[in-house]
Chain A
């Protein structure tokens, strides 16, 4: 293979696999580095010399959509998501929980997943220190929110927060704001919010891309099978990392509606590919490939698309659909008591 300017490990510590396509990546980065440089300048002016905390204004929203420079992500995520306020209200909370004691059952659950989180990331090896930080974040959160405890999937979110912020406590607060303020009940024991949101997405696909919706149903692949990981991991471990972080920029500002925009973009812009699958296996493979292709990698263009490709999507539509499917679910559960 030709020598590349880019090494065997990416800037977040992930090993690049043998089949990593350096050519495409270089083509992408040569362009994206220019974007990053220009955004860095604009953010420097916005934030000023004293590094003041940003407010939620339309200018900031526009800036966030174009990407937060990685060095500002920790503070800007904290500010725009209101995690900062939560932290100010209980500044000692994190340390206090970590003083213990911990429940053995929760400790065992979390410990099982420590070596199974990003094993191909150099910061998450046994010798590096991120496994300890990850343990602290997850165990603290499990004790802080007993309704959620530990849900698999949170390990990837907390792990990526840690890689992006390099700070344990910041990661804890961002995890807390995601689970409690930004997302409906995705991670509780019954995962009701997740199941409802998957139905909401299915309904949105049905109205916005009806032929794809019908085709996918005809081939016997439920939307939940395709999208559970998308929602649970907020695209971590699904899309390329730079794209995930750009999505999270908007997620922290604009909320969970962004997730539907991303899903709908992936589905609509790959309409041809999906429609040309004529059996179950090729369809399943198709959904694996579209999250890794050229368009998913080109995060700047991808993030522009999520605001145009799906068409209009109002908060009230999402709220109405969520209410409708939540109600349906409750009625169903009353009819057939749980196993």
Chain B
């Protein structure tokens, strides 16, 4: 495997030294809105018509490249059913980013998404970057949540917002990229505490795969 250093050198117009930052990201939202499908699309480029319901949570990683930084996401895809709610703090504690997902064809899931946003604002790290994803945008014929309504809500609350489709891949990479761009990639801060990214040490950097294809 190529080390990160040589990977960086091969990049067309990349800076010789690429920073690698690692962030913890959590997906929250009602069951069946498409959290696992968004992650599967982002990490593997796939979509399953019938995606298994998630129990507890699933863990995956994916790396994206910005101009001078490689961002490695540690992704927690959680279970959506209400009774798993009491386990959720475990997943968003210490998270630097969250995607709160609803299904544009189901008004209840939008209400549930707002509750998640409220909970994150109260209980998660104050600097957490929150994105709202209105998923299943390919099903516009069955739309129950208006784009403008969600956009207004997102603006009021300082959230990133996009309508996405895990099925067609629309805006899926984009929403993760938007988050990556908004995350503070400060140097120095060594602790994995709230807010700042974890800048990987040399050894860790060599191990983490380079993402630039």
Select which of B48, B55, B87, B91 is within 8 A of A237 by beta carbon.
B55
- In chain A between 209 and 252, which residues have their CB closer than 8 angstroms to a CB of chain B? 220, 222, 224-225, 228-229, 232-233, 237
Select which of A119, A191, A229 is within 8 A of B48 by beta carbon.
A119
What's the Cα separation between A224 and B61 when bound, in Å? 20
A119 touches B87 (CB 8 A): no
For A224, what are the chain B residues with a Cβ–Cβ distance below 8 Å? Answer: 87, 90
B32 touches A228 (CB 8 A): no
Select which of B50, B81, B192 is within 8 A of A152 by beta carbon.
B81
User: What sequence of 0s and 1s flags, for each residue 35-55 of chain B, a beta carbon within 8 Å of any chain A beta carbon?
Assistant: 000000000000011111101
B42 to chain A, nearest CB (A): 16
- In chain A between 270 and 294, which residues have their CB closer than 8 angstroms to a CB of chain B? 279-281, 284-285, 288
Select which of A112, A190, A233 is within 8 A of B83 by beta carbon.
A190
Closest to B54 in A: A152
For A171, what are the chain B residues with a Cβ–Cβ distance below 8 Å? Answer: none
For A118, what are the chain B residues with a Cβ–Cβ distance below 8 Å? Answer: 52
B86 touches A190 (CB 8 A): yes
Q: A112-B31, A189-B83, A190-B83 are in contact. Are A228 and B56 (CB under 8 A)?
A: yes
A116 touches B55 (CB 8 A): no
What's the Cα separation between A198 and B79 when bound, in Å? 17
For B79, what are the chain A residues with a Cβ–Cβ distance below 8 Å? Answer: 152
Q: A112-B32, A279-B204, A339-B119 are in contact. Are A151 and B52 (CB under 8 A)?
A: no
For A302, what are the chain B residues with a Cβ–Cβ distance below 8 Å? Answer: none
A281 touches B55 (CB 8 A): no
A232 touches B83 (CB 8 A): no
What's the Cα separation between A232 and B55 when bound, in Å? 8
Residues of A in contact (CB 8 Å), total 33
User: What sequence of 0s and 1s flags, for each residue 80-93 of chain B, a beta carbon within 8 Å of any chain A beta carbon?
Assistant: 01111011001100
B61 touches A281 (CB 8 A): yes
B86 touches A195 (CB 8 A): yes
B28 to chain A, nearest CB (A): 14
For A229, what are the chain B residues with a Cβ–Cβ distance below 8 Å? Answer: 55-56
Closest to A115 in B: B50
For B52, what are the chain A residues with a Cβ–Cβ distance below 8 Å? Answer: 116-119, 237
A191 touches B83 (CB 8 A): yes
Interface centre among A152, A222, A284, A285 (most CB of B within 10 A): A152
A191 touches B84 (CB 8 A): yes
B27 to chain A, nearest CB (A): 14
Closest to B204 in A: A279
B55 touches A153 (CB 8 A): yes
For A115, what are the chain B residues with a Cβ–Cβ distance below 8 Å? Answer: 50
A119 touches B55 (CB 8 A): no
Question: A256 at interface (Cβ–Cβ under 8 A)?
Answer: no
What's the Cα separation between A4 and B12 when bound, in Å? 46
A226 to chain B, nearest CB (A): 9
Identify the A interface with B (CB < 8 A): 112-113, 115-119, 151-153, 155-156, 188-191, 195, 220, 222, 224-225, 228-229, 232-233, 237, 279-281, 284-285, 288, 339
A-B pairs with lowest CB-CB distance, top 10: A228-B56, A119-B50, A229-B56, A284-B59, A115-B50, A229-B55, A152-B81, A116-B53, A153-B55, A112-B32
Identify the B interface with A (CB < 8 A): 31-32, 48-53, 55-57, 59, 61, 74, 79, 81-84, 86-87, 90-91, 94, 119, 192, 204
